[in-house]
Amino acid sequence: MLPVAALAAIARALEEDIGTGDHTTNSIVPDDAVMQGQFIAKQQGTVAGLDVARAAFRLFDERVTLVTRVDEGARVSEREVLATVSGPARAFLTVERTALNFLGRMSGIATLTRAFVDAVAGTRAVILDTRKTAPGLRIFDKLAVRRGGGQNHRMGLYDAMLIKDNHIDEAGSLAEAVRRARAAGTGLRIEVEARTLDDVRAALALEVTHILLDNMSAETMRNAVRLAGGRAALEASGNVTLERVRAIAETGVDYISVGALTHSADVFDVSLKRTGRGAAG
């Protein structure tokens, strides 16, 4: 079941598109008309967001029924039927674009995530997302990452502490930044960004349990793994591409964060094709 925050975001998306009403549909389509259709994949990839599409239809009109043909996170082929939808024709036509927008974006993110996950298969590395999400759509972007086989780094600024270079520069030193973070007493996980091996050594000396290796070469990351010796979880970040991710994973890092999962994924090509119509009984 989708969380309340997701349903609220879907409602905002519907309001954004519908406004005072779908005047085209309402003026042309009889109130008692019914319609059936199919969501069809127009490319191969990984599906995410069918439940979001269902919620969009049902928030507008509870009489709409959407039946999935594949599971969330499933790999699908071109021309495969993903779900069937039936109900009042006005609801079908009014909600169609919003449902497709969610499904296309989420499946695109899931498809790209799956490609990164497959690329590091057999290594210890876990693929993570970042906060580089579309404003207002983070809950869906991060859900899509999970359905593509990745994991979420953090949902926002509120559920983990990540001490980055600007924080360190402002505090005057890594040690002082960590001291202040711990003194806040939030109980949240503290992760430190390391720009050099000296930063890694300093973080380890402070007994920091999560270290982000920022834009390091593969050789430097291998040295960081040796330095850590399992005392801290290491996350590689910066300039991670599909071409480089395997080499990064083979350095022995625990996590690889990839901003591209949510800021550069192509929209998955999917359509909603009408398969029948009629009048309500």
Contact 5, 139 (CB under 8 A): yes
List, in sequence order, every residue forming a beta bridge with 81; answer none if it has no partner. 40
Active site residue 193: yes
CA-to-CA distance for 241 and 230, rounded, in angstroms?
A: 26
| Chain centroid to CA 144 | 4
Catalytic residue among 75, 164, 222, 246: 164
Catalytic residue among 69, 75, 97, 146: 97
Catalytic residue among 22, 51, 96, 193: 193
CA-to-CA distance for 82 and 68, rounded, in angstroms?
A: 6
Catalytic residue among 75, 132, 246, 274: 132
Active site residue 214: yes
Active site residue 132: yes
Cβ density class 52-87: b for 16+ within 10 Å, e for less:
bbbbbbbbbeeebebebebebbbebeeebebbebbb
Catalytic residue among 61, 214, 250, 269: 214
Q: Which of 213, 254, 220, 258 is nearest to 236 (CA)?
A: 213
CA-to-CA distance for 120 and 123, rounded, in angstroms?
A: 6
User: 3: Cβ–Cβ under 8 A, 6 or more apart, which residues?
Assistant: 139
Catalytic positions, please? 97, 132, 164, 193, 214
